[in-house]
Amino acid sequence: MTGKVMLRLLLVFATFVIARPGTASAQRYEDHTVLLLDRSASMALPTTSGLTRFQLAVRRAQDIVAMGGSTPQHYAVVSFNGTSYIVHLGFTTNTALIQFTLNSLKVGMESAPVAHAICGSVDELLAYRPQVLAWKRIAFFSASDGDTGTPPSSQCYGPPNTTPSPTPGSWQFKVRNKLVSGDPDNEGDPRSPLVQFSNVLLGGPFG
């Protein structure tokens, strides 16, 4: 089973989990979203649109910000490349600053630490304004072939999955757990995830 297939299995799980009761309801006060962009070498490849994968990712991230929402929208801009991720902009409602930050990003030429970046983004979300009732989300922009750069020291490091369902100990299993419970070793209740997740480039639902 290829890394791309295994990543898609994770995404299928993540996009079908339902929101925590009271969190993703009409009564929520704010939306907190991490715009998580892949800057690894594979993102420099061209698409049928004439843009590179990375240029398309930036454009779609900008579209999400421009769309806004019915509640206050707080965004953070995070990217990953090599063996780590970078928080380029902490959470803010300043759309001009968010768009400026997205425009300033450049694609890299290294590997894709997918698990490390997703799990780190969950931590960023859970630490931000925990006293406020908010919908916590990760909008993921990547077309990489699985995880190729998460360091062994990362909380979500693990071998790739080898079965249709995430295998305990695999990085897919740990990322799934992190989204659901906030703990890579705790499966939690998939019906009540702490963080919603979608891959925008692969067409996963968002909103």
32-85 pLDDT tens trace:
999 999 999 999 999 998 999 999 999 999 999 999 999 999 999 999 999 999
Are the CB atoms for 128 and 135 separated by under 8 Å? no
pLDDT in tens, 9-24: 454 444 433 334 334 4
CA dihedral (206, 59, 98, 146) in degrees, to 10, reads 60
Phi, psi of 110 (to 5 degrees): -125, -160
| pLDDT tier at 205, thresholds 50, 70, 90 | very low
Q: Lay out the sheet containing 73-81: strands in order across.
A: 84-92, 73-81, 30-38, 134-141, 196-199
| Burial of 87 per CB tally in 10 Å (0-12, 13-18, 19+) | middle
